[in-house]
Structure formats: structure tokens, C-alpha cells
């Protein structure tokens, strides 16, 4: 299975979907000029690899800031994961947050999709 690593930019998050090491992460901020293009590699990876996973997928999200367009695409990712979860795949989202606003975003997502969410407070680095 292929590994997807997208290096962070000023406007795009760090993304790692690494099945051989069981690491799935979206970290940072996301406010790209064209979010559909920025998130397209993630959708392609999910389409081509998710059904082949033979282990539990634990996706860690650490959203410092995601604009509304990025949030819509994150929801689209969660919807894809939800369909696979309902089909029997073991999937969990770990939503890490450092403030109440980001925590609330995760709570909203957890109420929209039927996937287990775990919330983890991580203080801001100084």
C-alpha cells in the first residue's frame, strides 16, 4: 500500500497516511487558495487504499485552524471513513485541540458522523 505524505506549507496542513507504520495524521492549519486541489491527494489515497487496510485506522487531527472550505472537505473525509466504518472497518478519530473553539469544531463533527471520536487536550507550545 502506498504512503501519502504532504509537507505543510503556510496554508496547508501536514498530512501523513502511512499504513506500514499505522500513522494517519492531519496536522496544522488549512486555508489554501484552492482547498479541493489541496485535499485531492487525500481523497485519492482513501479511494485507492482504505479498503485494503488490515488494521485499525486511527486518524489524528490537530487542527490549529481550518477555514470553512477546509472544514467542508474534512467532513467529506469523515463521511468516507463513516461509510467504511459502517461496512466493518475499525476506524477512530483522535481530535486534539488546544482551545475551546477547536474542541467545539471536533464535537460538531463527532455529532454529524457515526465514527468514534476521542478528544485530547494538548496545550499550546510556547
Question: Is 92 within a domain?
Answer: yes
pTM: 0.95
What percentage of the chain exceeds 90 in pLDDT? 94
Q: Which residues contact 30 (CB under 8 A, 6 or more apart)?
A: 11, 12, 13, 38, 63, 65, 66, 67, 70, 74
Question: Is 126 within a domain?
Answer: no
pLDDT at 92: 98
> Can you tell me whether residue 34 is helix, strand or coil?
coil
- pLDDT tens-digit series, residues 88-100: 999 999 999 999 9
Q: Could you give the maximum distance between any two Cα atoms of the chain, in Å?
A: 42
pLDDT at 59: 98
Question: Is 76 within a domain?
Answer: yes
pLDDT at 123: 87
pLDDT at 124: 77
Residue ranges of the alpha helices (H) in the chain?
35-49, 68-86, 100-112
Its domain, for residue 14, covers 4-121
Count of the separate structural domains present in the chain: 1
Q: How many CB atoms lie within 10 A of CB 60?
A: 17
Question: Is 78 within a domain?
Answer: yes
Residues of the chain with pLDDT under 70: 126
Amino acid at each position: 500500500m502506498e504512503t501519502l505524505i504532504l509537507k505543510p506549507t503556510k496554508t496547508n496542513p501536514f498530512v501523513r497516511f502511512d499504513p506500514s507504520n499505522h500513522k494517519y495524521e492531519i496536522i496544522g492549519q488549512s486555508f489554501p487558495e484552492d482547498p479541493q486541489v489541496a485535499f485531492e491527494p487525500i481523497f485519492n489515497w482513501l479511494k485507492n487504499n482504505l479498503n485494503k487496510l488490515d488494521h485499525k485506522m486511527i486518524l489524528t487531527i490537530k487542527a490549529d485552524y481550518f477555514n470553512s472550505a477546509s472544514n467542508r472537505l474534512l467532513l467529506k473525509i469523515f463521511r468516507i471513513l463513516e461509510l467504511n466504518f459502517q461496512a466493518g472497518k475499525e476506524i477512530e478519530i483522535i481530535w486534539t485541540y488546544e482551545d475551546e473553539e477547536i474542541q467545539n469544531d471536533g464535537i460538531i463533527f463527532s455529532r454529524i458522523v457515526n465514527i468514534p471520536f476521542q478528544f485530547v487536550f494538548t496545550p499550546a507550545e510556547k
